[in-house]
Every structure is written in structure tokens, then in C-alpha cells.
Amino acid sequence: MKKTLLASLVAVNICAVTPAMAEDIHSELATLKARIQQLEKNLEQQKVQRSEEQNWSKKVSVSGSAEFLGTISENDAGDSKSDLDMDSVELTIDAEINDNIALSTTLKYEDDNEEQDFYVDEAIIEIGSDDNPWALTLGRTGIPFSVINGSAWTDPLTDDLTDNTDDLAQLSYSNGALNTDVYIFRAKHDSEEENSVENFGFNVGINFDNGMSIGAGYLNNIRNTEAFDADSLTSNDEVSTYRVNISYEINALALSAEYIKTDSFDNISGQPKVTVWHTSADYGFDLLGAPGNLSLGYSETDNAERLTNEGEILFAKSRLTAGASRELSENAEVIIELVREESYSGDNTDSLNIVLSTAF
């Protein structure tokens, strides 16, 4: 009887414990299964991440442009000439190195009657991020002094006086309304064989909610830019330069103006202070079923007639442009432009430019 009672108690105890143990085992198995699934998910994410890091095609983009020009020009004496040429070709490669560093390189061909090869027009490293107002630019690019306003195909005289490409370091700050740049760049004196980093400049601009923007700039020595490589400048005296600019946009109308003035060129007779200003107006509208634009620009220099190289005055007295453009489907447009340029001797040259501009 005792043995039967003992066996019954053991059986009851086993029956009572087994469901609890089974529940524990089931829970542990479920936890282990969840851990395995999470590990597999992490491994898959790591594989995808490594694949994306190795797939540079997602981080590198290629773009380019080409412009074909047909032009006819005639001066006051009745002398005329015409030309057809591939005016310029650009190929740009942009690469995202990481979340904070990007690289951009532009190769360019330009019909300037010199070497007909691609050259490095720009190669810059940009350090910054979308959520940081500060950015650092290092490399070879255009000196950011002149603000080229307007959409005319022919550059204004403000660009003729200040266009310069060199190696620079630029620190920028932008918060939407306020934009500032401080930069230094390499320059080469005519009388020196070695380059030196002696040029610096800064820009400041303010954007208002009503479509108006104003800005100002300073360059410590315009003499070290390519435009002033002239034999009439016989010394290395520094010539600082100042700029003010304003623009206003309302609906399809855009207006802009820029004024640049240098300090005295002490080694030139009369010690002139050269000035150049530019104003432009653009109006966008629908032209024959496609987006089009009308542009009008006028620029003028003063006291620049003494800046000569091999007896020729470096800059024109004035330049007037009037043009119209229309998109040709996607990534292409045709531009028709009339240009009148006046020299310091009072001679006028009229030109008709027809440009096919393409991009990808």
C-alpha cells in the first residue's frame, strides 16, 4: 500500500512539473530563435552596406556640356568676319568620398586658338555637410570676386576684369539669409619665378524674403589676376579692389547690378582708378510651347584705356547684349544674341551669335 501511494505521489509530481519545464524550454527556444534572426538581419545589413561602399557608381556622377557657336561680326569700317566652331566642351566628375567630403573635377576644351586639348578647369575638395553652415573649399577654381549677374551668353566687362582661375583655400558660412566667404589664393608676380600666397579676399551677401539680395566684396590685389598681365604695369605695387552688387527677382523678372572699383595704379600716368559696372534684366516666359528667356545687359569701364599690353588696350569701353533663348526639349537650348562693343577709340563692333547649348 505504501509503495502504491509513493508511486502515485511521484507520478503526480512529474505531471505537475513537466508543463512548467516545457513552457521554459519553449520560451528559451523562442528567445534563441529571435536572436538568430536578429544576427542574420545584422549580417545582411552589413553585406548591403559593404556592397554599397564598394559600389562607387552610386557615389560618382558624370555630367557635361557642349556649345556650338556660329557668329558674324562687323565693325564701323565695314570689315566683317564669320566663324563656326565648337566653342567649348566640359566634362565634370563628382564623387562623394564620405558624408563630409566631396570631390569635383571639370575638364574643359575651349576654342581659344591655342592648344586644342582638354585641361583641368576646376578640381576642388569640399568639406562640409548639409546640416552644418560652415564649409571649406580647397583646390583649383575661379576666384569668387565678381558676381556675374544675368543670363546673357556673352560675359559682361566685370568678368573680363576679374576672371581668374587659381589654387585657393576658402572658408564659407551660410545660414540662408547670410552668406560669407573668406579666401586666399596663389599668385605669381611678373618679375618673380616662384609662386606665392599673397592674395586674399572676402565676400558677404544678404538675401531678403522679398526677393532682393545685396552683397559686397574685397580683393587685396587685383594685379595678381590673369586679366592684369600687362606690360604697361611695370611695378608690383598692390592695387586693392572693392565690389558692391544688388539683385531683385519678382515672378519671371530678374534684375541685377554690380559695381567694381580699384585703388590707384600708381605706376601709370595719372594714377587712374579703374571702375567697371554691369546691369542686366532677364524675363522668363513660354516661347512657342517651351520655356524661353529674354536677356538684356550693359557693362562699361572707366579709366581703363591706359592698361595696355603690346600697345593694345586690354578692355573695351562698353558692351551691350540683347538675346533670346528657347529650350529644345530636354537638356538643350538655342540662343540668339546681338552684341555691340565699343572701344576706347570710339569704334563699334556688332556681332550676331547663334549658339546651340547642350548638357547631360
Distance of CA 139 to the CA centre of its chain: 13
Q: DSSP strand E in 195-347: where?
A: 196-207, 212-219, 241-250, 253-264, 273-287, 290-302, 308-309, 312-313, 318-327, 332-342
Class of domain 60-359: mainly beta
Q: For 230-301, where are the alpha helices, taking DSSP H only?
A: none
- pLDDT tens string 147-165: 877 889 999 999 998 888 8
Side-chain half-sphere exposure of 307, counting CA atoms within 13 A: 25
Cβ-count burial 116-138 (b if 16+ within 10 Å, e if not): eeeeebbbbebebeeeeeebebe
Residue 156 confidence (pLDDT): 95
Contact 306, 272 (CB under 8 A): yes
Task: List the grid coordinates of 49.
Answer: 552596406
Q: How many residues does the chain have?
A: 360
Residue 43 confidence (pLDDT): 79
Task: List the grid coordinates of 321.
Answer: 547684349
Under 8 Å CB-to-CB from 265, ≥6 apart: which residues? 233, 237, 239, 271, 272, 273, 274, 306, 307
Residue 195 confidence (pLDDT): 62
Q: Cα separation of 271 and 273, whole Å?
A: 7
Pairing mode of beta strands 60-75, 308-309: unpaired
Task: List the grid coordinates of 358.
Answer: 547642350
Residue-range domain boundaries for the chain:
1-54, 60-359
Task: List the grid coordinates of 305.
Answer: 584705356
- Mean pLDDT of the 348-352 span: 97
Residue 324 to residues 151, 158, 232, 252, 289, Cα–Cα distance (Å): 10, 21, 39, 14, 15
Residue 158 sits at the vertex; the CA angle it makes with 296 and 322, to the nearest 5 degrees, is 15
Q: pTM to 2 decimals? A: 0.81
Residue 9 confidence (pLDDT): 47
Residue 16 confidence (pLDDT): 52
Residue 194 confidence (pLDDT): 57
Give the CA dihedral 171, 204, 224, 158, nearest 10 degrees: 130
